Amino acid sequence: MSGTLTYGAFSDYLEKKILGHVFAGAPYTAPATLYLSLFTTASTDTAPGTEPAGGGYTRIVATFAVAPDQPDGSSALWNTGLLQFPAATAAWGTVGWVGIHDAASAGNMLAQGPLVSAKAVGVGDAVRFSANQLILGLQ
């Protein structure tokens, strides 16, 4: 599966936290653990898409690092190691978006974006992203 995002976006939640922290001195502590989700419907800055339900789906722990400057001058993050979801025990639908969250379930979506290529996830499929394959770029 092609895991590269086009340009993602911070969620409205994270934008408000960053603005408050940087410009108004409001405290904000980055989450100790980040979780990656998959969506079968489009996500936006204001709301996550629809995550698969059942079939062995669960969010996974993800680590990121700042990527080198991009050719177009944008800034980006990328995953630092293999990210692999459990094999589907039932069809998850067509996955076309990802989200980064501050909790294993519920919690706050921090960023989201579309994948370059959507993939239908059937029984036995395992969605994975190699190191540096999942790139969240911001302009």
pLDDT at 1 over 60: no
Q: In this predicted model, what pLDDT tens digit does every residue of 85-133 receive, in sequence order?
A: 999 999 999 999 999 999 999 999 999 989 989 999 999 999 999 998 8
Which pLDDT belongs to residue 139? Answer: 61
Query: Residues 41-49: what's their mean pLDDT?
Result: 94
Average pLDDT over residues 70-79: 81
Tell me what the mean pLDDT of segment 76-89 comes to.
Answer: 94
Cα distance between residue 76 and residue 67, in whole Å: 5
Residue 23, judged by CB atoms within 10 A of its CB (0-12, 13-18, 19+), counts as: exposed
Which residues, at least 6 apart from 42, have a Cβ–Cβ distance to it below 8 Å? 49, 96, 97, 114
C-alpha radius of gyration, the chain, whole number: 15
- Mean per-residue pLDDT of the chain: 91
C-alpha atoms less than 13 angstroms from C-alpha of 108 in its C-beta half-sphere: 13
Comparing CA positions, the residue from 80, 83, 86, 87 lying closest to residue 115 is 83
Q: Calculate mean pLDDT across residues 67-95.
A: 90
136 has pLDDT over 90:
no
| Contacting residues for 52 by C-beta, under 8 A, at least 6 apart | 38, 40, 88, 92, 93, 95, 121
CB–CB of 99/111 below 8 Å?
yes
Higher pLDDT, 3 or 53: 53
Tokens of 111: 């960023």
Q: What is the mean pLDDT of residues 34-61?
A: 96
Q: How many residues does the chain have?
A: 139
Q: What is the pLDDT of residue 72?
A: 77
Output the pLDDT for position 44. Answer: 92
pLDDT score at 7: 65
